[in-house]
Structure 1
Amino acid sequence: MVEQSRIQDTIPPLKISEFGKDTFLIDMGKNLTGWVEMHFSGLEKAQEIKLDYCDHLSEDGKFTDRNYYDKYIASGTGPEVFKNKFNYHAFRHIRVSGLQEMPQPNAIKAYLIHTDYEATSGFECSDPDLNQIHDMLLYTFRCLSISGNLVDCPHIERLGYGGDGNASTVTAQTMYNLGPLYTNWLQAWADVIREDGGMPHTAPNPYAAGGGPYWCGFIITATWNTFLNYGDTLLLNKHYPAMQKWLEYVDKYSIDGLLKRWPDTDYRAWYLGDWATPDGIDQTAEASVDVVNNSFLSVCFDNMKRIARVLEKPEDEKMYAKKMEQLQKKIHEVFFEEQDNTYGTGTQIDLAYPMIAGVVPENLQEKVTESFYNETNNNRKGHLACGLVGLPVITEWAVKNQAAELMYSMLKKREYPGFLYMIDNGATTTWEHWNGHRSRIHNCYNGIGSWFYQAVGGIRPVEDVPAYQKVHIQPQIPEGVTWVKTFLETPNGKLAVNWELGENTLQMDIEIPVGTEAGIALPSGVKEYTLENTDYQLKENETNVVPLKSGRYKISYKM
């Protein structure tokens, strides 16, 4: 069901240095997942060479020892080559002990290995900081996918966590052709559902890993997103019964219309809302956990309504629409704080999730949005202040509400917590925690990546239309970005948007593949535009969306 894992790149060492008696430190220059090949000469029979691996050094330059190593016992019969093909490692640094002399650079190489999927995207802009963040996200996925699914981290746990997966699915499927990988991974999820409908937090499911409903519900949301990205209705048909069965399990633990904590089991532990939040955020607060999980459940009901529509099950569609509406009203009734227009604990995720989950009444949208800005700019000093669940939620909210300036300002922060803080502290892959604790090759914080394509690049699939058959093109331009080059290889072919901001004028070069319809949205107030050297003027009451079929176009307008 999925491509084989293959060697994708060969990486030479950046630096080799002495690290103690008969011990040397090899720095590969960046994190990677795969194999190491070392050539030895002059070894004695039975001489032991130990290779320890880690993804970062401590602040004082010490090796981060996780008892994570290979051991080679020499034959002593001349030139020898070690390459452990029976396992793999995720690392940047290798501590080699037992050698009498420093190894030469040409005696060492590493192989980046991952499932043999195709890259299907590209993003570049005038801001080097945005490019660095984007490229770090892009590369991180290549270090998480050696096994036909996406793992949390490839060295400590190697588990296909549904929470990390949900957080990164839209970004991962935008950047790469992961149709076969998700077909494989979703089958693993269908395989681990229990007889009573209970779901674990990871698939495959070797032990009671931690998580919460956002982890279990991967079977619904990831299946729906895979359909939207690749148009695969077979997955919807195949996994619909498992989705329904899990929602029946959820009903058992709903009290007065709201999902509450369910028991730990021998295959599942904890009950999280958000996870891996920065200092100052209480991710365990009951109000926050309940707002997050019930907002997610509202999204699940919405997905199920849409899936039922695709599968032509009108009664199910009505049922899930009703469940969604009832839950939305209940969340608002229980968790809305009228005095300050917040939900739950008032953190970023507790405000953004109700907004994208349809909880916030229309007449309160503006006030809750103001609360979100206040929480971000005043209480959090303009930083992202959420964990793995919050990042894709805030990203989706920002795209839909054209909050490009706010998102841009959060991404540009160089202090803790933030992506540039990671990069300034040597990150080549995203971390498990904002402060760098534990893993520094991780799938926690990759959900932000879709913003580069959907907001700054301006390519958004039309809601409910799969496989980019219809797209909405509307670049969201933060002050400080002057040009962008973006493309996606869709199931229909290459879709590209390149724009450049001149003196009060935006020039776009657009490529639309055969079988795709695009609507180019002009900003509010723009009444004139130029398309292929012909000037047009919008008539009174005419929509500001310019429809285009397949082809290559130049369009420009005064800002």
Structure 2
Amino acid sequence: MHKFLVLISFILIQYAASANSLKLQKLQIEYLTNPLGLQEQKPRFSWSFKSPEDGVFNQKQAAYRILVASSAGVLSKHIGDVWDSRWENSSETLNIPFNGKELLSDRSYYWKVQVKDERGKLSEWSAPALWSTGIIEAQEWKAKWIGSDILFDPSQKDCNIPDPWLRKEVNLTQIPNRAILHLSSVGFHELYINGHKVGDDVLATAVTDHTKRARYLSYDIAPYLKKGKNIVGIWLGTGWSIHGPYVSDHRPNTPIALAQVSFYSAKDPQLTEKPFLTLITDDSWQVKASPSRLLGVWDSNRMGGEHWDANLEDSNWNLPNNLSEGWKFATVYQPKLKLSAQQVERNRLQQPIFPVSIEDLGNKTYRVDMGVNFAGWIAVKMMGDPFQEVDFSFSEREQNTETFGLHSRYTFNKTGKGTFKNKFNYSSGRWITIKGLAQAPTLKDITGWLVRTDFQKASSFSSSDSLHNWLQKTVNWTFENLSLGGFIVDCPQRERLGYGGDAHATAETGMLNYAMGAFYTKWMEDWRDVSGTESIVGNMYDPTFARHQPMSGRILNNGILPHTAPTYMGGGGPAWGGIVVTLPWYFYEQFGDTRILKENFQLIKNWISFMDENTKDGLLQRFGGRWDFLGDWLWPQATAEGMNNDSPENLCFNNSYRVYNLRTAAKIAQTLGYANEAQTWAQKADAFAEIIHNRFYNSHDHSYADGSMSNLTAALLADIAPVALRKSIFQRLETEIIQHKKGHIHVGITGGALLFKLLRAYNRNDLLFTMTSQTSYPSWGYMKENQATTIWEMWEKDLPGHSLLHSSYLYPGAWYIEGVGGIKSPKNGYESFVIQPPGANETTLTFAHVNYDSPRGTIQANWSRENGFLQLNLSIPPNTEALLKLDSSEKLRSHPQLQLQHEKEGKLTYKLKSGNYKFSSN
């Protein structure tokens, strides 16, 4: 009996130890989960840990071991025949580089990880994960670029190119167990095998500078294949293939595709196994016009939509034994494009959107209210007269039938029945006017979908205030609607351009609300691609250039940047190109990843050199044309003019921003160990700051230039003022907000992003809460009062030609996580961080619940105040620690795991190890 009790005790102890050990989750490679088609020879591994169990504290990783195997079977035996890292004594869980055998193209690799905790106890092995390689070396590509022989005619009102079908018959003597097809396109594509669409992605590939690069995606087609005849079909969409800046002598102005697939007998081929057949695109493929074509010409206000002609439908086009007429051999092209794997999430349909009402306007015309402004697809079941055309018009504004030229068309066949659904374009708006129906549609006949890059949500927020809940929800909804294609656009309906200036208003909001590691890595590659090129809109140095031209050997060095990437077009100023400095730094602060700093360091050096060459007497001078030296943009009552002029306030703002850029660049150089650049840039920043201060400082009221919020903010954030004056200047900014503007914000895109950055750094939640709580013009609450469902381009609603779904004012999205939730100041990807909820007098909120899925695990910061008592529910992920900062008036009751670090100047600082906590104040 005694032995039995001892045995039971031992089992219980072992069970408890097992229950309390670290539990691995979210295995990723290059910020992606189980990606297909990576092109990295040294991919980086990351993982995090599940939230701690109650009563378990101070869990740490002491060591890790990674196994990489050539097959799932080998990995299941705990063998790493491709790489066994052995036990590495390290607490690191992020971006650990592969260091095994050379990776081969077109292979799958399987991996898992095990860790030791702070007691040396082994965790269970993680669930297995995998990735596949794409075509790693350029010479391994054997495929040729193919398409139709119809080229875009820009003189036409609507695009003249029918979206082409491409097909190839392949006869298989056996069913392959492995067949990964690598497919690139200029323009959009869909892949079909024997009539079945492969994958659930849409509008592939991600948007890319098609003067230099094309991205490819990898698809597992083995499940769709059969012995004997098979048809591989590619459906091309025109899209970005005719975007004006991408027109090049070496590339046809038409959609083209390139594909390659090797067929293997084994599911996991060993390193020496050869494919039994390889298929490539070449001139033996056939091409035919499909029923779809682009309406519009893929230009500002002419993005149009799609025309679907049901009379051209052919359900057998991608099936064996298709005997239909009209097929001919494809045309082979030879563009000079670098092929790169698309290492960012694909575009996918998100949650369905259903209409809320349909109004009969008479004359076979109906107006549909979708209930929310969104960018994406629609599907409409319809009844009409045979061969009748139906027109769809999309509008953001209830009083307009159509905004920004967005419209689509459907032509019935002889049956008079059909369904219109987007394929290679998308619309943006809330109201749809449908003209030409013989029978009224019902609510159940119509569905919409948001379409976006399929990154994961990383945060949740709720509070006691409905306005702030609405604002955070609407900011996030707007951000999602701007993210289609692996970059953030200004607006999805009018221009679809990747403005650098607007990125200041979205970047930190994006990183604190979504898992954006792969996304921003890709977008920075786009900025490197477009560097050394002048803007199209600006025609900066030679107005005879109709399109961009490389600046090398001309007036300026290669540091010049267009104002958008990868799209080139659009106006901007120093803060637009300056995103190549600030975005990598924000990324590093968030993820602790130095690679993005290294990859873009030369880009940063070139940009600083460009600004230096436009400096006179210590001040950055206006360069370019009318649209190339914008300062802050779209502040209230600016009527779209903003700081787009030669006024002193514009010169002050842009020079202050330039100093902010320099100081950020110096921090980047210091982080990378480049002491010379760090010292040079810091000294330049100090010298330029002194010149700006002497030129623009108003001593009578401690302001700069015109005394605007934008210039006060930029001067403070860039440390323009001498230290002794900064307190007075900040008090002047506070006066501007509270007294002069009655608690309202009065900035635009860049000025607003900098203002929120400054006030978050100063921990001035009171000022941020005041501005975000207003309901009269100008404010976000004013948008809500005017039935907005997305954030507008301007603080004004009814100025013609401006978007009601825009990137301008999304900067509160970061504050709700960092300020209201108090989750801030991360170091090394949240290995340590601060939790600092707003003080009792900083907001009128009675509670806020915030979860943030950090790179190292989920952080929970829930707080409430009732009858003067503060309640805190906190979760600190394993392998991390936090500093909890509170006002001295809210000193916490004693807790076994609560360690007071210090009390200073009315502030308490506690040190918290990992674990779940419930605290209350005395």
**Normalising to structure 1: TM-score of the pair?**
0.93
In structure 1, how many angstroms separate the alpha carbons of the residues matched to 2:349 and 2:609? 43
- Candidates 269, 277, 298, aligned match of 2:635: 277
Runs of 4+ in 1 over 4 A off after TM superposition: 533-543
The 8 Å contact of residues 873 and 919 in structure 2, kept in 1 or not, is answered as: yes
1:205 aligned to 2:563?
Answer: no
Q: 1:189 aligns with which of 506, 512, 527?
A: 527
Return closer, same or farther for 1:183/1:536 CA change in 2, 3 Å cut-off: closer
Partners of 1:14 and 1:38 lie apart in 2 by: 14
Paired AA for residue 532 in structure 1: H
1:18 to 349, 356, 360: 360
Structure 2 residue matching 1:271: 3-state secondary structure: coil
Cα deviation, residue 461, structure 1: 1.9
Q: 2:623 aligns with which of 262, 274, 278?
A: 262
Indicate whether 1:160 and 2:524 are aligned: no
How has the CA–CA distance of structure 1 residues 322 and 80 changed in structure 2, closer, same or farther, with 3 Å as cutoff? same
Where do 1:504-519 residues align within 5 Å?
A: 504-519=868-883
Tell me if structure 2 keeps the 8 A contact 1:529–1:537.
Answer: no
**Alignment-derived partner of residue 912 in structure 2:** 548
Report if the CA contact (8 A) 1:529-1:536 is conserved: no
Mapped to 1, the partners of 2:517 and 2:682 lie a distance apart of 28
SS of the residue aligned with 2:911?
strand
Report deviation, 1:522.
2.4
Identify the match of residue 844 of structure 2 among 470, 473, 480.
480
Deviations 1:513-548 (A, max 9, x none): 12322111121466x422536887787779831111
Q: What residue in structure 2 maps to residue 532 of structure 1?
A: 895
Percent identity at matched positions?
A: 31
Give the Cα separation in 2 of the matches to 1:15 and 1:113.
Answer: 22
Question: Counterparts of 1:96 and 1:179 in 2: how far apart (Å)?
Answer: 40
- The offset of 1:466, in angstroms, is 3.5
How many angstroms apart in 2 are the aligned matches of 1:310 and 1:215? 24
Per-residue CA deviations over 1:52-84 (Å, capped at 9, x if unaligned) read 111222xxx343443210011101325311112
Moved more, 21-30 or 314-323: 314-323
Shift of 1:35: 0.8
Q: Please, which moves more after superposition, 70-79 or 275-284?
A: 275-284
Tell me if 1:247 matches 2:608. yes
Amino acid of the structure 1 residue aligned with 2:389:
E
The higher relative CO (CA closer than 8 Å, separation ≥ 6) is in 1
For 1:143-184, what per-residue CA distance to the aligned partner results, in whole angstroms no more than 9, with x for missing partners? 111111100000100000001112210111111011111111
Tell me, in whole angstroms, the C-alpha distance in 1 between the residues paired with 2:918 and 2:753.
Answer: 32
Q: How does 1:116-515 map to 2 (within 5 A)?
A: 116-194=454-532, 195=552, 196=557, 197-207=559-569, 209-264=570-625, 269-279=627-637, 283-284=643-644, 286-436=647-797, 437=799, 438-462=802-826, 465-477=827-839, 478-515=842-879
When the two structures are aligned, how many residues end up with a matched partner? 547
Q: Displacement, 1:4?
A: 0.6
Aligned to 2:389: 48
Which has more radius of gyration? 2
Higher helix share: 1
- Equivalent position of 2:425 in the other structure: 87
Secondary structure of 1:487's partner? Answer: strand
Residues 385, 416 of structure 2: 8 Å contact kept: no
Secondary structure, aligned partner of 2:397:
coil
Give 3-state SS (helix, strand or coil) of 2:609's partner.
helix
Structure 1 contact 468–516 (Cα < 8 Å) conserved: yes
Distance (Å, rounded) in 1 between the aligned partners of 2:407 and 2:882? 52
Query: Equivalents in 1 of 2:895, 2:422: separation in Å?
Result: 58
Q: Distance in 2 between matches of 1:461 and 1:391?
A: 21
CA-atom RMSD in angstroms = 2.0
CA distance in 2, matches of 1:531, 1:234: 43
Q: Which runs of 5+ in 2 are unaligned?
A: 1-342, 533-551
Aligned with 2:879: secondary structure?
coil
280 and 380 in structure 1: CA distance in 2 versus 1, 3 angstrom threshold = farther
User: Which range moved further: 318-327 or 536-545?
Assistant: 536-545
SS of 1:35's partner is: strand
Q: Distance in 1 between matches of 2:884 and 2:704?
A: 35
Corresponding residue SS for 1:37: strand
> How many Å apart are 1:378 and its aligned residue?
2.9
The answer to which structure has the higher strand fraction is 2
CA contact (8 A) 2:901 2:910 kept: no
Q: Distance in 2 between matches of 1:220 and 1:237?
A: 12
Q: State the distance in 1 between where 2:843 and 2:783 align.
A: 23
1:148–1:184: 8 Å Cα contact kept in structure 2?
yes
8 Å contact 2:899–2:912 — kept in the other structure? no
1:82-118 deviation per Cα after TM superposition (whole angstroms, max 9, x unaligned): 1120111111110101113321111111111110100
- Pick closer, same or farther for the CA change 1:492–1:300 going to 2, 3 Å: same
Take 1:366 and 1:19, find their aligned partners in 2: how far apart are those partners? 61
Question: What is the rounded CA distance, in whole Å, between the counterparts of 2:728 and 2:574 in structure 1?
Answer: 28
Change (3 A) 1:280 1:238: closer
Counterpart Cα distance in 2 of 1:547 and 1:73: 67
1:327 aligned partner, one-letter code: F
Name 2:371's counterpart in structure 1: 29
Q: CA deviation at 1:475?
A: 1.0
- Contact preservation (8 Å) 2:793, 2:805: yes
1:269 Cα deviation (Å)?
3.5
Q: Structure 1 residues 375-384 or 114-123, which shifts more?
A: 375-384
2: CA distance between counterparts of 1:433 and 1:539? 46
Structure 2 counterparts to residues 48-87 of structure 1, below 5 A: 48-57=389-398, 61-77=399-415, 79-87=417-425
2:461 aligned counterpart, secondary structure: strand
Whether the aligned pair in 2 keeps the contact of 1:532 and 1:553 (CA below 8 Å) is: no
Moved more, 354-363 or 128-137: 354-363
Query: Are the aligned partners of 2:902 and 2:909 in contact in 1 as well (CA < 8 Å)?
Result: no
Instruction: Give the direction of change, closer, same or farther, for the CA distance of 1:215–1:531 in structure 2 (3 Å limit).
Output: farther
